[in-house]
Amino acid sequence: MRLWESARDAVPPDRLFVAGAGCESTRATVRLCRAAAEAGADAVLVQPPAFYRAAMSDPVIAAHYRAVADASPVPVIVYQVPLRFSTLEFATGLVETLARHPNIVGIKDSRGSLELVAELVARTPDDFQVLVGSGAAFYGALEAGAVGGILGVANLMPGECARIHAAFRDGDSAEAGRIQERVGPLHNAVVGGLGVPGVKAALDRLGLRGGDPRPPLPALDERGTLAVERALAEAGLGG
């Protein structure tokens, strides 16, 4: 909760603050959504319960998200976690159903498939926000109809990620593509390739505060650290 409060203090009032609030039970998720709202979150990003994966049918997941959205004081964004993690994959029809709830306003899709992004855009209402999580596919996702992204690589190249969006919005596809060519490889090498330990190590090397990941995730070994330094250099970062 203190982290949320600190984040709210750091985020300018004219920018949205989205808090992660997914848990394994509906009741705990609702409790976390309410706490996030009290801490100043403008919306919550809710990942699906996946421990009892075999029991998580589409109707069960739909009922969970409806109950959360009914109780949440702030809008809910569904989180399609990357499939390499312990999670569920949302069928497009399920997302289409969830999009009808007035307090479920979007999805963050981190699968990295432009075809699936286009499918989500085509089958959900115009005011349902399709966002992506893959920095490697950001420009392509915008071309496919996504409205934006919540990108891990934006921790390392925030200005560049914002400029991809701005260039796309302004119709400058050449500029958007040029920047994407720098952002994509960094995402693949650090965010996709090394995960949280890689992002934290990269932040340290950019003069920010990454620190060690929380156990049981290990800090990078020497080989991983060298890979981060190489990726930053190839992206034109890190001096």
The residues that are catalytic are 108
Can you spell out the DSSP letters for 41-75? -SEEEEPPP-TTGGG--HHHHHHHHHHHHHH-SS-
Alpha carbon separation from 150 to 31, 80, 123, 126 (Å, rounded): 23, 12, 21, 19
Q: In this structure, is the dihedral angle defined by the CA atoms of residues 48, 54, 56 and 59, taken in order, positive or negative?
A: positive
Please give the single-letter amino acid code of residue 50: A
Provide the phi-psi class of 40: left if phi over 0, else alpha when psi is between -120 and 50, else beta: left
| Cα 27 from chain centroid (whole Å) | 23
- 119 phi and psi angles, rounded to 5 deg: -65, -45
Please give the distance of CA 83 from its chain centroid, rounded to a whole number. Answer: 13
Residue type (1 letter), 144: A
In 3D, which of 201, 198, 200, 191 has the Cα closest to residue 135?
Answer: 191
